[in-house]
Amino acid sequence: MAQSFISIKKFVNEPYSDILGYPKATSRQLKSRITELEKLKIKSISLVGPTTIGKIAILGKGYVGVVVLAKRGSKPVALKIRRIDSQRNEMKQEAKFLKLVNTVGVGPKMIDSSKNFLVMEYLDGIKISEWIKQLSGVGSSKKLKTTIRKILEDCYKLDMLNFDHGELSNISKHVIVGNSKTSLIDFESSSTERRPSNVTSITQAIYIGSGIAKNVQKIYKNPSKNSIIKALKNYKNEKTGESFENLLKILKL
C-alpha cells in the first residue's frame, strides 16, 4: 500500500476536513481537534485504505468513527476519529475496552486516547473474507486452519474474560489478517455486562453462515453442521477448556 503523509494542519480545509470532522464539523471543532491531535503527538495522516468517503481512501468506517493511517513521531499507527454525529460523547469507553482485551493479548495494541481519538497499533493486513478468497495452492488448508484456530483462541480468551465483542457474527469487518498478526478489531460495541458469545458467534460465522462458510468449505471439508451445533451447545453450557478443545477437535483444527 503506497503511503504519502499529509500534515494534520491541512485537515482544517476541505476535502480533508470531511475526514477529521466526519460528516460535517464547524471550523471551531476542526481547530480543537487539531490541538487534540498535537497533544497525542500525531503529526500526519495518510489517506489510504479499502474504504472511501467521497473520493478519499481510509482504513475503515463505523457508527462511532472513521479509521485512518497516521504517524506518531516516525511510527505508523491506526487513528480512530470520533464522528461528529456519533451517539458516543467520547472515546474513553472504547479505549478502556481495548486496554482490557490487550491484557490477554487480544486486539491491536492500545497506544493513547483522548476525547475524540483512539491511537492504536497499525495492522497491515486485509479483511478475513478477502484473505480467504485469495487463498489457493499447496498449504492453503493448513494456513486457513492455523488462522481460524488463532481467531477462536482469541475469542475463547475474551469469553474467559467475561467480555463480549458484540459484532463477531459480521466477521468480515472485525477480523484482519496480516503478515505478522491476525487480530480481532473494533471494540466499539463491546460489553462486560452481556453474556459473552465470542466463540459461538465466530464459529457460526465461519462454518454455518453464508459467504465465508462457502469459501472455507472449498479449501477444506468442514464437519457436518449438526456436529458443529452440538459441540457449540456443549461449549455454551459449560465454557471450559475441555469443551473448547472438543470444539477445536470437531472443527479439525
C-alpha cell read off for 2:
503506497
- pLDDT computed for residue 222 by the predictor: 84
Q: Which of 16, 12, 23 has the alpha carbon at shortest distance from 47?
A: 16
CA distances from 222 to 35, 130, 147, 166, 226 (A): 52, 19, 15, 25, 11
Q: To the nearest whole percent, how much of the chain has pLDDT over 70?
A: 99
- pLDDT computed for residue 19 by the predictor: 97
- In this predicted structure, the answer to whether residue 2 has a pLDDT above a threshold of 70 is no
Kindly report, residue by residue over 48-83, the tens digit of the pLDDT.
999 999 999 999 999 999 999 999 999 999 999 999
- In this predicted structure, the answer to whether residue 1 has a pLDDT above a threshold of 70 is no
Instruction: Compute the CA torsion angle 194, 107, 73, 124 (nearest 10 deg).
Output: -130
- To the nearest 10 degrees (0 to 180), the angle between helices 241-250 and 225-237 is 170
- pLDDT computed for residue 242 by the predictor: 97
Tell me the mean pLDDT in the region 170-185: 92
- In this predicted structure, the answer to whether residue 163 has a pLDDT above a threshold of 60 is yes
CA distances from 190 to 59, 185, 196, 223 (A): 20, 11, 10, 30
* Residue matched to cell numbers 463480549: 164
- In this predicted structure, the answer to whether residue 137 has a pLDDT above a threshold of 90 is no
Which of 52-56, 218-222, 233-237, 239-243 is predicted with the least confidence, judged by mean pLDDT?
A: 218-222
Tell me the mean pLDDT in the region 158-177: 94
Instruction: Compute the CA torsion angle 50, 53, 55, 56 (nearest 10 deg).
Output: -70
Kindly report, residue by residue over 3-27, the tens digit of the pLDDT.
799 999 999 999 999 999 999 999 9
Residue 164: partners with Cβ closer than 8 Å, 6 or more residues away? 158, 190, 191, 192, 194, 195, 196, 197, 198
- In this predicted structure, the answer to whether residue 138 has a pLDDT above a threshold of 80 is no
- Average pLDDT over the chain reads 94
Quickly state the pLDDT bin for 180 (edges 50, 70, 90): confident
